[in-house]
Amino acid sequence: MARIDLVDLAHSYNGAGADPASFALKPTSMTWRQGGAYALLGPSGCGKTTLLNIISGIVQPSRGKVLFDGKDVSALSTQQRNIAQVFQFPVIYDTMTVGENLAFPLRNRGMARADIEARVHEIAQLLDLRPYLARKANRLSADAKQKISLGRGLVRADVAAVLFDEPLTVIDPGLKWELRSKLKVLHRALDLTMIYVTHDQTEALTFADTVVVMHEGAVVQTGTPQELFARPDHTFVGYFIGSPGMNVLPADVHGSEARIAGHRLSLGRSYGNLPPGARIEVGIRPEFVHVAAPRPDLLSAAVERIDDLGRSRFARLRVGDLRMAARVPTGTALPHGTAGLVFDPAQIHVYADSRRVEGTA
Amino acid sequence: MEKITNQKAWLLVLPVFALVAFSAVIPLMTVVNYSVQDTFGNNAFFWNGVGWYHELLDPSTELGGRFFASLWRNLAFSAIVLLIEIPLGIVVALAMPRAGWGVAFSLVVLALPLLIPWNVVGTIWQIFGRSDIGLLGWALNRLGFDYNYVANPLDAWLTIIVMDVWHWSSLVALLCYAGLKSIPDAYYQAASIDGASRWAVFTAIQLPKMRHVLVIAALLRFMDSFMIYTEPFVVTGGGPGNSTTFVSIELVKLALGQFDLGKAAAMSIVYMLIIIIVCWVFFTVMTNAGQDRKSAGGEP
């Protein structure tokens, strides 16, 4: 039970003297609230596992401090930090039964036998492992083994935080949903701080209250799923979250007008504050652009194909040599050849060097 | 699916059958042939049925007495050697470095005894242990121990056991090291997060994960030590008295020393059957734990 603060944390696997651009984790400061459900989201190799391992103490950071409730724990071992972690692949103590596996972290800490019994039963109940408690753990399926790993992570009530490192990788898709919602229930029931690392946006957005998006070793945005969707702070967030990702188009922006491929587009806000010399782009989610019959006052685009996602349809388009996606409204005939694009001005964001610029009304 | 009957497939295994027949079955059959006959020289053989076997398996006869004495001696030797080498190999493997230049260094050092021919190992220890010119024997005597492997059976046993431990513990250590290296880091990380002590890590992770290589190591060491011939033959020649005469040494005495082909052949057959049966029982028992895992089909 703790608030976790990261103070100017950075890590390089080549030592602190390495080129800062090559750091696996670029200098990061942030705070994790007690009892929060967090997701660390990013593509493979973006440094999310490194960050997790630094919090748990498996990796010693090259720079910076980790504070638990304001106390510096950077020099403490994983054991002393009192943290639980669940790994990508199930870790099972082969010779023990399921119950002994769950009891292992408690037994090692010298808890009373009766208390261990009670807690193991509680966790086994929550994870539907009750019928298997007396079975040898190595005789179970991969799914069940990972449930045991999850159980061992959750069994200690007094941990500072429970860290999950892509724990559902080996789980069948059907069971994934079930386990994910189970984790959410467990989070509410147990009042533990949980940090969940994943590269799957659906997993992150369904599990977490707060999603931390990482890109090339740096945290690019922290926010609720709604914030990440509606106001991506970085073009990477826009692109990574959402399916299809946000359209990012190079543009000239003057005041409240943008010029994209020769077409004038009026923005909802005015941008007089753009840094000179920066690479300017506008971003808009495909959900907020829709295709219509071509008209002279609309940006015209060549239709390449239509993706039918069941509940919605998206057109893949080409404007000059830019590629983008736009919604095909229900009831509209499927466009082919050339189409006009209608933008929702309130949902257009302007980016300078990939970072979002706040407009003025 | 319907099974296709195709007897031509036998032709494909024929070369292997032929090879095994020439390398093993036919020589073995000549031994079987000898074991049921007696000879008085001149290449004249007489049918003796299972007479030699009767004599061999009856400890009250001269032949049976010699056989059982050497058999118990040999089993005791194998047991002692296994009890020392397996734990020692595990300890050495655990102490070996996991990364850096130390890995290559310790692997080479450990492999050295394994590369030395067996009779050279015998010769090394034969000289090493001599109380007049051998470093070990001389030093022990200077320190006040009355050590003489030529005259004292206990000293002879100690010398041979220490020699075997020196020669073969590396094999166990190397196998265990391979087993340890195959354990993913996540297990150690998980154990450290679960607050496991060093001993708990050993019993809950390392030992179970090494089980398969340990079965192999124990099997190899049992077979090898049970068939040991060269090293004790070079060091003690089976003496003093008969105190280090193991089954193979007894067998050679019988076959080549006394030229009792029938008795020696019968002893060979029984000797081989013992090794096969012990190995089979051992292997079955030790891998049984792995069987039930297969039936559950839960291995990722």
Per-residue pLDDT reduced to its tens digit, A32-45: 888 888 988 888 88
CATH code for A4-233? 3.40.50.300
Q: Does B208 touch chain A (CB under 8 A)?
A: yes
The 10s digit of each residue's pLDDT in B111-137 is 999 998 888 988 898 888 888 888 888
Strands A349-352 and B45-47: unpaired
Q: Which candidate, A192, A134, A118, A132, places its Cα nearest to that of A162? A: A192
Contacts for B110 with CB less than 8 Å, ≥ 6 apart:
B92, B170, B173, B174
Residues of B in contact with A85 (CB under 8 A): 189-190, 193
Q: Does A146 touch chain B (CB under 8 A)?
A: no
User: How far does chain B reach from its first CA to its final CA, in angstroms?
Assistant: 27
Beta-bridge partners for A299:
A341
Distance from CA of B104 to the nearest CA of A (A): 23
- Kindly state the tokens that stand for B14: 């024929």
Q: Burial, A99: exposed, middle or buried (Cβ in 10 Å; 0-12, 13-18, 19+)?
A: buried
Q: Taking the domains of chain A in order of start, what are their residue ranges?
A: 4-233, 247-357
Query: What is the band of A147 on the pLDDT scale with cuts at 50, 70, 90?
Result: confident
Distance from CA of B207 to the nearest CA of A (A): 10
Q: Could you give the residue ranges of the DSSP H alpha helices within A170-319?
A: 173-190, 201-207, 225-230, 235-240
The 10s digit of each residue's pLDDT in B85-112 is 999 999 999 999 888 888 999 999 999 9
Mean pLDDT for chain A?
Answer: 85
Contact A236, A42 (CB under 8 A): no
Residues of B in contact with A116 (CB under 8 A): none
Indicate the range of A60-69, A123-132, A237-246, A333-342 predicted with least confidence. Answer: A333-342
- Concatenated DSSP letters of B55-77: HHT-TTSHHHHHHHHHHHHHHHH
* ipTM of this complex: 0.73
Q: What is the mean pLDDT of residues B63-72?
A: 86
| B300 three-class SS | coil
Strands A313-319 and A71-72: unpaired
**What's the pLDDT score for residue B294?**
43
The 10s digit of each residue's pLDDT in B179-230 is 999 888 888 888 888 888 889 889 888 988 888 888 889 888 988 898 888 8
At A290, the amino acid letter reads: H
Q: Which CATH number fits domain A247-357: 2.40.50.140, 3.90.470.20, 3.30.360.10, 3.30.70.580?
A: 2.40.50.140
Distance from CA of A82 to the nearest CA of B (A): 8
Taking an 8 Å cut-off on Cβ atoms, the answer to whether B293 and A139 are in contact is: yes
Helix count (H) and strand count (E) of chain A?
A: 9, 21
Q: Across B28-42, B157-171, B191-205, which has the greatest mean pLDDT? A: B157-171
- The second-level CATH assignment, the architecture, of B23-292 is Orthogonal Bundle (1.10)
Q: Which of B184, B189, B204 sits opposite A95 (nearest CB)?
A: B204
Q: Taking the domains of chain B in order of start, what are their residue ranges?
A: 23-292
